[in-house]
Structure formats: C-alpha cells, structure tokens
Amino acid sequence: MPIAVVGMALSANVTFAVVDQSSADTRLWSRLIAHGPDSRRANGMNVSRFEGDLIAEEWAIWSDWRIDGDGGHRDHRNPADRSPY
C-alpha cells in the first residue's frame, strides 16, 4: 500500500508535518504535527483503514495547542494547567 497523507485545515495558516508512518495489512498509522499561527503546534495520531485504494475508516486524536519551545510540559497539579482533553 502506498504511504501518503493528505492534510486539510479549516485555517490556511495551519500546516501539517508527517513525523512517522507505518502500515500493516489494510491500515496506515501516521504521527503528525500541526503548526499553527503564533508558533503554536499540536501533536496527532491518525489511523486509516483502506478497502482497495479508498479510505474506509479514519480515526484521529490530537493534543491541545501548545506554544513551540514549551516542550509540552505542564504542571498537572496546577488547576490552571489541567486540560479536560
């Protein structure tokens, strides 16, 4: 199966970078980073299941937006740093 990712965003200011991909049988796993305005980024994992050349199902999970350089480290003991997601 050819490995390819097509990204589309609601904002023209968001770009996607594929960090890693792997495939097995009819599934393709992609680890992505979305780069947004003001040095924001989000990390995501996408799983696609194919039937022939068509995507039959797709699942994704994304982190919240973070500012580049913060390393994504937050003190979860601090209520202000907690995310419900």
Domain CATH code at residue 41: 3.10.450
Q: State which residues form the domain around 5.
A: 1-64
Phi, psi of 54 (to 5 degrees): -105, 145
Instruction: Tell me the DSSP string of 45-65.
Output: EEEEEEETTEEEEEEEEEPPP
Please tell me the total count of domains within the chain: 1
Residue 76 resides in a domain: no
Instruction: Write down the pLDDT at residue 40.
Output: 86
Residue 16 resides in a domain: yes
Task: Give the SS3 label for residue 55.
Answer: strand
**Which residue reads 């995501």 in tokens?**
44
pLDDT tens string for the chain (85 positions)?
444 444 444 567 888 899 999 999 999 999 999 988 788 889 999 999 999 999 999 999 999 888 866 555 554 445 555 444 3
Instruction: Write down the pLDDT at residue 11.
Output: 64
- CA 13, distance to chain mean position in Å, is 16
DSSP secondary structure letter of residue 6: -
Residue 82 resides in a domain: no
Residue 77 resides in a domain: no
Distance CA 36, CA 65 (A): 8
Instruction: Write down the pLDDT at residue 53.
Output: 92
Residue 11 resides in a domain: yes
Residue 4 resides in a domain: yes
Instruction: Write down the pLDDT at residue 85.
Output: 37
